[in-house]
Amino acid sequence: MSMINYASREINCKLVYYGPGLGGKTTNLEHVFGRVNPASRGKLISLATETERTLFFDFLPVDLGTVRGFKTRFHLYTVPGQVYYNASRKLILKGVDGVVFVADSQLERLEANVESMQNLYDNMGEYGYDLTKIPFVVQFNKRDLPNASPVKELQAALNPGWPVADSDKQTPVPDPVFPGDFLVRQLPTGEWVERAPAREAVAITGDGVFETLKAVSKLVLKSLG
At 14-39, the pLDDT tens digits run: 999 999 989 999 899 999 999 998 88
* List of E strands, the chain: 3-5, 10-18, 45-48, 53-59, 66-67, 70-78, 98-104, 136-141, 162-163, 173-174, 182-186, 192-194, 198-200
pLDDT of residue 225: 74
Residues linked to residue 104 through DSSP beta bridges, in sequence order? 141
pLDDT of residue 96: 95
- C-alpha 43, offset from chain centre: 21
Sheet (strand 162-163) strand order: 162-163, 192-194, 182-186, 173-174
pLDDT of residue 49: 63
Question: Does the pLDDT at position 168 exceed 90?
Answer: yes
pLDDT of residue 50: 66
| Out of 32-41, 75-84, 149-158, least confident range | 75-84
The pairing of beta strand 53-59 with beta strand 70-78: antiparallel
In the chain, domain spans? 3-159+197-224, 167-195
d(CA 9, CA 3): 11
CATH code of the region 3-159+197-224: 3.40.50.300
d(CA 209, CA 203): 6
Largest CA distance in the chain: 53
* List of E strands, 85-172: 98-104, 136-141, 162-163
pLDDT tens per residue across span 93-134: 999 999 999 999 999 999 999 999 999 999 999 999 999 999
Split at pLDDT 50, 70, 90, the class of 176 is: very high
Q: Which residues contact 24 (CB under 8 A, 6 or more apart)?
A: 102, 104, 139, 141, 142, 201, 203, 204
pLDDT of residue 52: 61
Question: Does the pLDDT at position 53 exceed 70?
Answer: no
Question: Does the pLDDT at position 54 exceed 90?
Answer: no
d(CA 223, CA 216): 11
